Structures are given as C-alpha cells and as structure tokens.
Amino acid sequence: MTLTTLAAPVRAFAPDRFGCSCCAPVLQDLTLLSVTQVAAAARPEAWKKLGPAPAAQSGTFILTGASVLTVDADFSTVEALAVRDGRVLAVGSLDDVRAEAGEDAEVIEAAGRAILPGFIEPHMHFFTIAVMSRWANVGAIACPDADAVIDRISDLAAEAGPDRWIVARQFDPSLQAGADQITRHTLDQVAPRHPVFIFKASLHIGYCNSRALEIAGLTAETPDPPGSAFVRDEDGRPNGVLKGQPAIMAVLAHTLSSLAIDDVPEACLQVCAKANQVGVTTVCDQGAGLSLGRAEVGAFHSFAASGHMTARLRYSLSGAMADRWDEMDVKPGQGDEMARATGWKIVSDGSNQGRSGLQREPYLGGDDRGLAYVAADDLKVQVTRRALEGWQVVVHANGDQAIDNTLDAMEAARAAGASPDLRFRIEHCSILHDDQIRRIAALGASPSFLIGHVHYWGKAFRDEIFGPLKADLLGRAASCGKAGIRWTLHSDEPVTDMDPLRLMDNAVNRSLWKEPGGVLNPAERVSVEQAIVSLTRDAAWQCHSEHEIGSLEPGKFADFVVLDRSPLEIDPADLRRLKVLETWVAGRCVYRREAT
Ligand SMILES: [Zn+2]
Ligand SMILES: [Zn+2]
C-alpha cells in the first residue's frame, strides 16, 4: 500500500498547522505532473543546454586574516587555510601554511571574517523545493499577517497577464495574525479576474477565489469528493476553502501547466543556488523518488555528471516505493562525491502540528493519539530488511509513541545482525523522553531535529497541542549531547527555509517566534560550538561522508563558507545577524553576497 492511500482520507479534516512534506500526499500528485520533464532530465543529454561546466579549481591559494574554524576533533581555530586543486592542503599559522603551499601561492586577505566548513543540510526535499519555487511565498516571514497575504495577492494580480493563474503557498494562520482562513469573498476583492489558489503551509488545505471555482466548475450542486470537502456559504455555494487532497486537486487540475517544473536543469540549478546563498555546500534529500522513482535518481546523477552542481547531494530512497527500488537494484553508496545514495527513508507517523504524530498519550483537549503510517510490526520488518541489505535506515518519527516503535524496530534490526555503523537516523525526533535517549545512545543511532518546531511552533505546542510538560521535550539536543549521541539540525525545506545560521540561532537560544522574550525549556539550549559541529562535522558523519567533508582538514574537499564575523565572538542573541558573504565548493566560489 502506498503512503498516498494510507494518508489521504485520514488527513482531510485534521486541524493541522503545518505538515512535513514527507507526509503531504498532495505534493506527490503535484510532483507527478513533472514526471515527463524529470524523466527527460535523467538522460545526460538534457543537461547539455547548460553549456560547458565551469573548470574545476586548480592551483594553490591561501586565505588568511580570518578566524578559520576548522571543526576538527579539537575544534581548532587557526589563521590560515591553503587550498590546492579543490582540496584542503593545510590549515594553521600563515607561516606554516605558506611553507606547505609554496611561495607562489596566491594569498587572499579575509580580515575580520570567519571561515567555517560548508554547512550540510541533512534533511530537505530537493524536487519538492524545485516544484514549489514556482509559487509565490506568502508565509509568515514575507507576510506578517493575513492582510499582508491579501496585499501580496493584489500585487500579483496587478502584475499577472490576463487569465494567468496566481498560485501561492505557505499561508499559516498559526504564525500569521488575522483571519484564520481566506475565502473567495476576500480574494475576489483584490483579484476579480485572475484565478487564485493559495496553499495553507501544511498543504492539506487550499483557498481559492470565485474565478478559480468557476474554471473548475464547482457550484452549490457539486458534491464533496470522498474524504474531503468544499467548505460552503449558507446558500451551499463553495466559499473557496478546500479541505483535503481531492478537493484541492479538483481546482488545481485546471492549472497543471503552472504547477509542473518546465525546465528541470534550471530548476535544479536554482535549488543549489538557494542552498549556496545560506552557506550550504551539501544537501541531503530525504525521500528521493517519492513519486518519480528511477527518473528522480537518474536526474540527480546526470546533474552531478554535468559538472554544474554547486551543492553536493546525498539522498535517501523513499521506502514508500520499495518495489520500484528493488526492481532497479539500487545499492547503498552508489554514486560519487557529488551525488550519492546513502539512506533508506521510512515515514512512521504524521506531524505533531497536524495532530497526526503518534503519541503515547492523547493530544491536549481530545482523546486522539495520532496515526501510525506504518504499523509497529511492519516497521520492524521493514527496518530489519533494509538494514540487513546495508542501508542506513532513516525513520521519520515525530510523536513519542512513533519513536518507541522506531527504537523497537532498530533494536530488532541490531539483534538480527545489523551493524551499528549504519548509523540509524531518527528524523524530527520531536518528543523525546529520558528512557528513549538512553536507548538511542545504546543503539548508536542519531537524531536530526527540525529545530524550527521549537522556534516557530513552540508556543502552539506548549499552549494548544501538548501542554507545557510535554512541549519541554521538543528538540532535546543538549540532553542528547550529554548522553554522547551525535545529533544534527535540519530545515526539512519546504517546511522551513534552509538557513543553517537560523538553525544555529534556534538551537542556541530556543526563543519563541510568537512570544518576545519567551524561551522553550532553556535546559536544552546548546553552545554555539555544539551547534556548529552539528551543522558540519556531525552532519557529514550522519550522511556517511566524514572522509571527504564536514571539517577543514588536509585532504578533504575545500568546501567552506565565509561569514562576516565569527559566531564564537558575538553575543549568542546576535547570531541571527550573521551574514554569509561567500560559499565555496571544491575550492571554487559558488556564491558571493553583493555589496550593499
Ligand atoms: Zn518527515
Ligand atoms: Zn521531510
């Protein structure tokens, strides 16, 4: 059974705020629209249109004058970094590095700046970002309240050609003040002629105007599709609020051309450029091939072979389409230093914000305990089978019961002979009790935290979803560190934006977006140094790439980021003010911030 058939009807009426794209079925339908283009991009010829690849870096240069945070085992800070032919040649004092690099090496001054290993984003969704980048972002960062969302739609309608669809995403009433839904009545005032569709951030609810309803042929007489609803006015006419995947697709089916990726190579370049802008040099796609299978993985490797990839890619295969991977005989570790298969992804439950994360106890104000997407016994079978095939098993588990089930499954796999060096991963790992931390440590497993849960939704978790005691168990990075567990931080983009400096701020300060001065469980705050290790060295270890990336040590790739100041020398409250000035991959500058 596929994830779509399991998840769709159950999620339709969930009072969700924000889901994980691992478990939003509508996305799979939308990505399917791009299947032909992505299949074409699996062929190497498709990338020729990008022209000749930039030459690999050759020769030797030295960067000096900056604080070079090597993030080696001792967390050494040095004054100079020498690069030769795309790899780190030496780090240390300027004299020592010069002696190694030779008198002819070019010396680049970077006074006052900080150089860190390139950041690694351990959990994002590559093609989902590529698809969604075509839609206008009306989320909380761009639009602080619902009125600003409507203003933005008004602007888009003013700019759009006749009959062009306006598709937007990321409206989130739990983060944006004002109306908690958007009806056609509001949208019609600013966009009477253009069809408009807005996704709620969770992707489980949509909002459209009268023109879109008209094009879709939806009237008072149209029955609700099974498992979903057209919310209606008193006279029975749809009011533009669409609940659930079938209702959403009833409208979106009329604008397929504005939803699909039309130029896959260009879209892939843009995803890498987006990563580079925030200092990311390696991204890890957690759920490759969710809809497109062979084509998606083929496109990754053709992209890598084209020489145009500016961020390394590691990926976990989506276990939702296990049969197709088995047909293809994909092997763990296949690929090269630019693109490589590293994991096997299983989604075990839903999202806590959507009250579909699987809990030991009911959610606040109800008796619902969420949903197992994979039954506990089946999870044991899947985890054990894939681990014995040599896969690093990567399990999405948000609720505490889902984490119990995941640990049971991982222990069963170990008992059956799976190696601890597979480094089992628990994704999001949101609610974590002390007994579970002990089990993770004993297994040698490793959590990756969606730390934006704490910052963006921490207040809602505390006040509406879990209550204060359980909300304190969110994102327990400090406790995991004390237990000797290696952990990382991720954005899960498109759930939150890739931005390692923001992740660092969230983990170090645990401040609450919607409560000035508020902090969620200060005991779980980590040091700046710990946060940096999690974004570099430990993230490299987590994706089985520590032999080539994750620290600035001789022989590793010269993947690094230049910040305007050292994060170690500022007040932690100012972390969010740090700026990425440059991003380098294999000794080549792939992003430079424009002077302002
Ligand atoms: Zn997930
Ligand atoms: Zn995800």
Give per-residue pLDDT as tens, 95-120. 999 999 999 999 999 989 999 999 99
Q: Is there a single domain that holds both residue 214 and residue 279?
A: no
* Residues 569-591: tens digit of each pLDDT: 999 999 999 999 999 999 999 99
Cis peptide upstream of residue 265 (ω within 30 degrees of 0)? no
Whether residue 74 is contained in a domain is answered as: no
Tell me if 580 sits within 8 A of 501, measured CB to CB: yes
Ligand 2 mean position, distance from CA 166 (Å): 26
Are 152 and 18 part of one and the same domain? Answer: yes
**What is the reported pLDDT for 261?**
83
C-alpha 530 to ligand 1 mean position (Å): 24
Q: How far is the CA of 570 from the centre of ligand 2 (A)?
A: 32
Ligand 1 mean position, distance from CA 171 (Å): 20
With CA atoms as reference, report the closest residue to 510 among 493, 533, 489, 494: 489
The β-bridge relationship of strands 114-117 and 119-124 is: unpaired
Q: Is 278 inside a domain boundary? A: yes
Residues 540 and 480 in one domain: yes
d(CA 8, ligand 1 centre) in Å? 16
Instruction: Provide the domain limits for residue 8.
Output: 3-30+135-258
Which amino acid appears at position 62 of this protein?
A: I
Q: What pLDDT, on the 0 to 100 scale, is given for residue 291?
A: 56
Within-domain flag for 96: no
Residue 105 in any domain: the answer is no
How far apart are the CA of 425 and the centre of ligand 2, in A?
Answer: 13
Please compute, for residue 112, the number of CA atoms within 13 A of its CA located in the half-sphere on the CB side. Answer: 4
Is residue 90 situated within a structural domain? no
Q: How far is the CA of 47 from the centre of ligand 2 (A)?
A: 27
**pLDDT in the model for residue 514:** 80
Give yes or no: residues 239 and 367 share one domain.
no
Q: Cα of 215 to ligand 2 centre, how many Å?
A: 33
Specify the CATH number for the domain of residue 206. 3.10.310.70
* Among the bound ligands, the one closest to the CA of 288: 2
- What is the distance in A from the centroid of ligand 2 to the CA of 343? 13
Q: Which ligand gives the minimal distance to the CA of 350?
A: 1
Q: Which ligand is nearest to the CA of 316?
A: 2
What distance in angstroms lies between residue 504's CA and the mean position of ligand 2's atoms?
19
Please give the backbone phi and psi of residue 253, each rounded to the nearest 5 degrees, phi first.
-60, -20
Looking at the fold, whether 364 and 246 belong to one and the same domain comes out as no
Query: Do both 248 and 329 map to the same domain?
Result: no
Residue 345 Cα, ligand 2 centroid: separation in angstroms? 10
- Counting ligands in written order, the one closest to the CA of 357 is 1
> In what helix (H) or strand (E) does residue 340 lie, and over which residues does it extend?
strand 339-347
Residues with Cβ within 5 Å of ion ligand 2? 20, 22, 492
Taking the centre of ligand 2 as the mean of its atom positions, its distance from the CA of residue 21, in whole angstroms, is 5
Measured from the alpha carbon of residue 354, the closest ligand is 1
Q: State residue 10's pLDDT score.
A: 29
Q: Structural domain tally of the chain?
A: 2
Domain boundary among 258, 285, 302: 258
Q: What amino acid is encoded at 115 in this protein? A: I
146 to 7, 67, 233, 500, 569: CA distances (angstroms)? 29, 43, 20, 27, 38
**Distance from residue 590's CA to the centre of ligand 1 (Å):** 29
Same domain, 316 and 380: yes
- What's the CA-to-centroid distance between 492 and ligand 1, angstroms? 7
Q: Decide if 310 is inside a domain.
A: yes
* 383 and 298 fall within a common domain: yes
Shared domain for 458 and 571, answered yes or no, is: yes
In this structure, the answer to whether residues 168 and 20 fall within a common structural domain is yes
Does residue 75 sit within a domain?
no
Give every CB contact of residue 22 below 8 A, 6+ residues apart in sequence.
125, 286, 287, 345, 347, 396, 427, 492
Helix intervals (H) in 392-475? 400-415, 434-443, 452-460, 468-471
Q: What is the reported pLDDT for 4?
A: 29
Number of Cβ within 10 Å of residue 323's Cβ equals 10
Of the three residues 209, 233, 258, the one that is the final residue of a domain is: 258
CA of 109 relative to ligand 2 center, distance in Å: 40
Check which CATH number belongs to the domain holding 535 and give it: 3.20.20.140
Residue ranges, the chain, pLDDT below 70:
1-32, 291-293, 596
- In the three-class reduction of DSSP (H, G, I as helix; E, B as strand; rest coil), residue 64 is classed as strand
Residues with CB under 5 Å of ion ligand 1 are 20, 22, 396
Nearest ligand to the CA of 493 is 2
Whether residues 348 and 392 share a domain: the answer is yes
How many angstroms is it from 426 CA to the middle of ligand 1?
10
Residue 519 Cα to ligand 1 midpoint, Å, equals 25
Q: Determine, yes or no, domain membership for 64.
A: no
For residue 372, the one-letter residue type is A
For the chain, what percentages of helix, strand and coil (3-state, to nearest 5) are there?
A: 40, 25, 40
One domain for residues 496 and 569: yes
Q: Point out the domain boundary residue: 258, 284, 309.
A: 258
Whole-number pLDDT of residue 9: 28
